[in-house]
């Protein structure tokens, strides 16, 4: 058996502790990265699902506008698979309306505001989508 001097064993212990510290820091950094990516996936899923709901109600609203044009006032709020949807139609001219289509899921809301021409059938002239926390006072 080879025995090292007392000072050499102390240095080996310091190096071993330093190596373990570096391993622990690396593991913590990897865990933090995995956690942040997981949170990003959750946010992306929420965004995609609420976007799908607002697209759904916008498509239904456009179909009703094609059928009933000026007499259609929107879709009342109703529960659907995955959340709630609603829309409102407000005239802004003789042949133009503003459509607000809203999809809500788990406290998150996607809203489409569109200007729709009724002159040659419903055609979207301008639109904007926003997302954020759902309005509680709706």
pLDDT in tens, 100-122: 999 999 889 999 999 999 998 89
pLDDT at residue 138, rounded to an integer: 46
The percent of residues in the chain predicted with pLDDT above 90, rounded, is: 57
pLDDT at 6 over 90: no
Helix (H) or strand (E) holding 89: strand 83-93
Cβ neighbour number for residue 75 with a 10 Å cutoff: 18
Question: pTM score, two decimals?
Answer: 0.71
Cα–Cα distance measured from residue 38 to residue 62, given in angstroms and rounded to the nearest whole number: 36
4: three-class secondary structure by DSSP: coil
Residue range 42-58: mean pLDDT, rounded: 92
Q: Token pair of 91, please?
A: 């005239």
Residue 31, pLDDT > 90, answer: no
């Amino acid at each position: 058996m080879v025995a090292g001097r007392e000072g050499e064993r102390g240095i080996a212990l310091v190096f071993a502790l330093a190596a373990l510290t570096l391993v622990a820091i690396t593991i913590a950094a990897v865990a933090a990265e995995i956690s942040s990516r997981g949170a990003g996936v959750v946010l992306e899923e929420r965004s995609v699902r609420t976007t799908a709901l607002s697209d759904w109600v916008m498509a239904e609203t456009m179909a009703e506008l094609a059928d009933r044009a000026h007499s259609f006032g929107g879709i009342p709020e109703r529960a659907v698979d995955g959340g709630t949807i609603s829309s409102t139609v407000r005239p802004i001219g003789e042949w133009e309306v503003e459509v607000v289509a809203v999809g809500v899921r788990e406290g998150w809301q996607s809203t489409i505001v569109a200007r729709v021409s009724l002159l040659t059938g419903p055609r979207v002239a301008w639109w904007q989508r926003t997302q954020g926390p759902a309005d509680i006072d709706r």
